[in-house]
């Protein structure tokens, strides 16, 4: 059921976390297709978190972002934004 009384076209925008409320706001492509986190689990390739809360490898993230119409390499993005240092397991 849409929450039209408050001008939002999504469900339950009046309750829940800020992350849920943010899903109700239309964002520019440049803000939707960025890595919002990274993790390295033992024995696995480093993963990057999408704005949709999906964990993807570097190659998967590049494919995902390209499908969104804006190809982003998460390593390049983190480096260009000054997030560092680059972890030892990451190849530039």
Q: At 81, list the tokens.
A: 């934004």
Chain centroid to CA 30: 11
Per-position pLDDT tens, the chain of length 92: 444 445 555 555 555 555 555 566 666 656 667 898 899 999 999 999 998 899 999 999 999 999 988 899 998 888 877 777 777 888 77
C-alpha to C-alpha distance for 90 and 74, rounded to whole angstroms: 11
What pLDDT was estimated at residue 87? Answer: 78
C-alpha to C-alpha distance for 56 and 35, rounded to whole angstroms: 10
Please give the model's pTM, rounded to 2 decimal places.
0.65
The tally of CA atoms less than 13 A away on the side-chain side of residue 46 is 14
What pLDDT was estimated at residue 82? Answer: 76
User: Which of 59, 67, 63, 51 shows the shortest CA–CA distance to 91?
Assistant: 59
Environment class of 26 (CB within 10 Å of its CB; exposed 0-12, middle 13-18, buried 19+): exposed
């Amino acid at each position: 059921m849409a929450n039209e009384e408050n001008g939002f076209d999504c469900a339950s925008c009046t309750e829940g976390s800020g992350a849920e409320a943010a899903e109700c706001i239309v964002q520019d492509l440049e803000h939707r297709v960025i890595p919002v986190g990274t993790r390295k689990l033992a024995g696995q390739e480093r993963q990057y978190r999408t704005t949709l809360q999906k964990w993807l490898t570097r190659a998967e993230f590049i494919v995902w972002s390209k499908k969104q119409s804006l190809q982003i390499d998460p390593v390049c993005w983190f480096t260009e934004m000054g997030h560092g240092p680059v972890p030892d397991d990451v190849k530039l």
